[in-house]
Structure formats: C-alpha cells, structure tokens
Chain A
Amino acid sequence: MENKNKFTILIADRNPNVREFLKREMTAEGYRVRLAKDSREVLKWAFSQAPLDLLILDPDLPDTEEVGLFTQINDRIPQLPVVIHSFQGDYADYPEASITAVFVEKQGDSVEYLKNVVSEMLNHV
C-alpha cells in the first residue's frame, strides 16, 4: 500500500461523473489522481513537470482527432503505460492505440478489473 502513494494516475473521460467515480475508486486504492476532460488537458498534464505514472484513457474525447492525442503522447512520453478504458466499438476506431495500450472494456462493473490491471502494470514498471 505505501508504495502506491508514489504513483500518479491521469484519468481522461468526457463524462464528469465517470471521471469522479473513477477518481474516487482509484484514490481509495491509494493512488494520486489527476483528471482530464479532453485531449488538451491530457497533453497539459503530459507536458507539465509533475510526473505521470499511468494514463487511464477513454479516447472518445471531444477533440482526440484534431489534437492527434496518441501521436503527441508517443512523442512526449513513449514509455507511459496507457490503459484504454472504453467501449469495444469506440476502441476499434483508434487503431493506433492498440499497439502500446492495454484495453479494458468499459462496463458497469469494469472498475474492479481496471484496478487489477492498473496495479499489475504499475508493479511491473
């Protein structure tokens, strides 16, 4: 538990309630959590000095395409672990995400699985 404090997770989702829910769940797990409502905010965090350990991303953000989110993240911090938390169909719209990211299908009870995946990935690093 104590080493989890070191990890900062960025959660990006267009739905504020989903964001808040995930923040609550992840904070309860002991992570430091940042939130982003669109791609610009994701990049703002990615380019800031504060270190990021993991990104939970639903690519169905209002401006994913125009910002070129995946390319930018790859350029800036290619080593950043990314968990795609999204619907099956939406995920398929972003073929470039599938190369480096782990996919967790967004469902009512997916948060438990998400927690496991995040914990595993961070412990691997």
Chain B
Amino acid sequence: MMNLRTRIYLLLAALVFVTIMGGLVMVWYTYRMEGLLTHIISKNMATFYAAEGLEISLVNQKGFVSYYFLDGDPDWLRQLGEYRQIFKERLKEGKALVETERQKEAIVRIEAEYSRYVLLKDQVILHYKGGDRETGARLHKETRNRFFRILDLCEEYKGLHRESIEQARDKSLLQARNLRLVAGAAILTVLILGLLLAFVLTKQILIPIRRLTLEADRHVEPVGAGDEVNILSQRVRGLIKDADHTQAALQKSQETLVQAEKMASVGKLAAGMAHSVRNPLTSVKMRLFSLNRALELSPIQRDDFEVISEEIRHIDTIVQNFLEFSRPPRLKTQKISPSEVVDLVLQLLQHRLESYNVAATVSRQAPLPEIQVDPEQIKEVLVNLLENACEAMEGGGAIVIHEEEGFREPYGPAVIIRVTDTGPGIQKSNREKVFQPFFTTREEGTGLGLSIACRIIEGHGGNLELISERGEGTTFIITLPIKES
C-alpha cells in the first residue's frame, strides 16, 4: 500500500502531465492544421488556377486560323503566335507545380497532344498560305477534333487538382475530428484525476484532520469556519505542553513519594522510640511530683530540683513532638471561625510574647467565616509559628497576623492567614528545608514544629508556605479552603 504522500503526489503528477500533454497536442494540431491550410491555399489553389489558365490560353487560340482563312490577314497568325507563347508558358508553370504522378502524366499528355496539334495546325496554315484551301480545310477540321481532345485533357487535368484539394480538406477534417477526440479524452481524464484527488484529499486528510481537531480538545467549542490545520497545530502544541507538564508533575510526585517513604520509615522509628521513652519518663514525672509534695529543700536544692523538672519537661515536649509527627493528626473538626482561634492563641501567649518583648497585632476587616477545622490543631500551628517568630527576633520585634478571605488556586474560596515577623528572615538555602522534619537552627529545637504544622494544615486540605527575604522578616501563609459541607 502506498503511503498518502506518494498517492497525492502521483495523482498531482498525473493531473499535471495530462493537462500539459493535452495542451501540447493542441498546439501541435494547430500547427498541422495551419500547414494543411497554407498548403491548400498556396499550392493546390495555385496549381488549380494554373490549370485553369492553361485551359483558357488554349481556348484563346481558337478561331484565328479560321479568320485567316476568311480574309488572309497575317495579323491573325501573329496573334495566334502570341497565344501559343502564353500557352507554352502556362504549360511550363503547370509542369513546375505538378505534385502527383497522375498530374504529371496528364500534363505530359497535354503537351504531347498540343505539340502534334500545333504541327497539324501549322500544316493547315501552310496549305492556306500556299492556296491549297481544300486540303487546308480538310486538315483544319481534323485539328478542331484534336483541339477539343486537348481541351478535354485540360479539363481532366483541372479535375485532378480539384480532387487533390478535396483530399486535403478531407484530411484536415479528419485531423480536426481526431483533435476533438483527444481533447475530449484529456478533459475526461483530468476530470477523473481531479475527482480522485479531491476524494483522497477529503477522505484521507480533511476529514481526519477535522475529526482530530474535534477530538484533541473536547472542552473547546466545535471548529467553525477557522483553518482546521491551524487549530489542530495549536491543539497539538497544547497537548505537547500538557505532556511536558504531566511529565514534570510525575517526576515531582515521584520525588515526593521517595521522600515520603523515607519519612515514613524515619517516622516509624521515631514513634517507636518516643513511645518507649514516654512511659518511664511519665513514671519519673510522677515521682518528681511526689517528691515535690513532700520535700523541704534548701534554696540550692530547690534550684537543682527546678532545673531537673524543667529539663524533664523539655524531654517530654520533644517526645510529644516526635509522637505527634509520627502519627497523622486526628482531626476533631467543628465549625468555627479561625479568627476565634487566633484570638485565643494571642491570649494564651500574652505573657510569653511580653517576655520576648514582642508586640503582636491582628489585622482583619471582619472575623473570618466559620469553616470546618480542628481548633486545637490550628491553635498548635499558630502557637508554633508565633514561637518561631519570637525566637527569631532576638531583642524583640513585632508580629502581624493578617486575616483575609479570598480565592486561591486550586482551592477555590479560602481563608488566608499571614503571620509576619520583623526578624532577620530565612536564608534562601534554608527556605525549603524548614518544613522538613528534624531540620532546626536552634539548639533546643526538635526540628519537627514546622513539619507538624505543615501536616496539620495539609490535613485540613490547605497549605502552608513562607515568603522571606534576608533582612526583611518572614511571612508564613496559611491557606485553608472553605468547603461547602
């Protein structure tokens, strides 16, 4: 089976070939017709007229001898001599123009007859001149018979020329008919080839292209009068772009998957460890509590005791964080405005903020709408972000919590809470890492706070991100979708 391109090229080539050949044949025929016509006009007609001239010049010789016989005027014989001269010339012309054997034969016979006739006639004239009028009259009669025979021959000779003209005409008519046939065949062939080409173009190119155009993107309105190939190429470019995006997304999700698997195994380990540590730790705490109830301690002992208690609390926090990190947060959602949680957190951290010399303000036009969230978890996230901010701003600073309602891709309607501090910002190289578990820049940190916060927000179907420029503070952006429950 030929491929489509070959088929179209073949059809086109055939079409062009037939058209050109048809044209060439026409041109050739016109030349032939022209030649034929010229031949008929210039040659056949000329010889025909020459034959006629011959006949006329013969006819003109008639009567002079009779006149001479009647009145004996020699002028008649002079005139006869002139006409004879004319006839001879005509005969020479005719001989030069003859084309066929038959014409040649005819003219030769005319010449022969004529020369005998002239001889006989000359005898008649001699008899008349010599006064032998009786013999002259008898011979004269015979010359008349000869004269008419030559006239017949001349008539015959003319007929031959007429015949050849008729033959030329028949020939040209035949050629014209052939030309018509060829032209008709060429027209028919071109028509068939054209139809075939149209069929191939429509059936194998235009219809498939149109179908492809429609299939390539079903979301777009059906193709109207526009250029299908153009639209199709746009669609294909779109598809290629989509494929690229998909490829990139796939790669990213594979990376995420690898990361997630890593984290899952680390998490399991951490959970196991934290779980085992917590049990004895609680026992220690219980005993400390008991000791604290009963002991009378000196100030130094009291200080030691406090430090031990403090450090044990710290260990406990670390263990709690590990455990929380290792188990996905169980959301206990309720319909509540996140603004309420923000207020609660600020109230809760009031003393802490004061001790860090940090002024926290809320910027909101109206309280956020009620959405399905776990207030405890959101509280934890906010506490975490605020504590991080406080830690970052050595010597104090300001925190602004900005709340707004908006539209965010791909969540749709969402509430957005921004926590901005006036701290030193986060180094570019660390911006990605801060959300990773176990990453910390602080001595006492566990490196789990932000990764837990991130997971809680993602557990709500939202997202936590940060904007930071070195020296211009840091903004954490919490996006929570407003879902129609």
Q: Which residues of A contact B (CB under 8 A)?
A: 14-15, 17-18, 21, 25, 60, 87, 89, 92, 106-111
Residues of A within 8 A of B460 (CB): none
1/0 per residue B266-292: CB within 8 Å of A? 000000000000111011011111100
B327 and A89 contacting across the interface, CB-CB below 8 Å: yes
Residues of B within 8 A of A108 (CB): 282, 285-286, 288-289
A14 and B279 contacting across the interface, CB-CB below 8 Å: yes
Count: A-B pairs, CB below 8 Å: 39
Can you name the residue of chain B whose Cβ is closest to the Cβ of A112? B289
A87 and B330 contacting across the interface, CB-CB below 8 Å: no
CB B449 to nearest CB in A, in angstroms, measures 17
In the complex, which of the residues A18, A89, A92, A109 contacts B289, with contact meaning CB atoms closer than 8 Å? A109
Residues of A within 8 A of B65 (CB): none
In the complex, which of the residues B282, B287, B288, B327 contacts A106, with contact meaning CB atoms closer than 8 Å? B282
B278 and A87 contacting across the interface, CB-CB below 8 Å: yes
CB A112 to nearest CB in B, in angstroms, measures 8
Q: Which residues of B contact A (CB under 8 A)?
A: 278-280, 282-283, 285-290, 323-324, 327, 330
Known: A17-B287, A92-B330. A107 touches B282 (CB 8 A): yes
Q: Helix, strand, loop or mixed for chain A's interface?
A: loop
A15 and B289 contacting across the interface, CB-CB below 8 Å: no
B287 and A21 contacting across the interface, CB-CB below 8 Å: yes
Task: For the complex, give the distance between the alpha carbons of A25 and B287 in Å.
Answer: 11
B283 and A18 contacting across the interface, CB-CB below 8 Å: yes
Residues of B within 8 A of A110 (CB): 286
Can you name the residue of chain A whose Cβ is closest to the Cβ of B309? A108
B323 and A18 contacting across the interface, CB-CB below 8 Å: no
Can you name the residue of chain A whose Cβ is closest to the Cβ of B281? A108
CB B287 to nearest CB in A, in angstroms, measures 7
Task: For the complex, give the distance between the alpha carbons of A37 and B288 in Å.
Answer: 23
CB A85 to nearest CB in B, in angstroms, measures 10
Task: For the complex, give the distance between the alpha carbons of A111 and B289 in Å.
Answer: 9
Task: For the complex, give the distance between the alpha carbons of A17 and B286 in Å.
Answer: 9
CB B82 to nearest CB in A, in angstroms, measures 152
Residues of B within 8 A of A60 (CB): 279
Task: For the complex, give the distance between the alpha carbons of A111 and B404 in Å.
Answer: 45
A to B CB contacts below 8 Å, 22 in the list: A14-B279, A15-B280, A15-B282, A15-B283, A17-B280, A17-B283, A18-B283, A18-B286, A21-B283, A21-B286, A21-B287, A25-B290, A87-B282, A89-B323, A89-B327, A92-B330, A107-B282, A107-B285, A108-B289, A109-B285, A109-B289, A111-B290
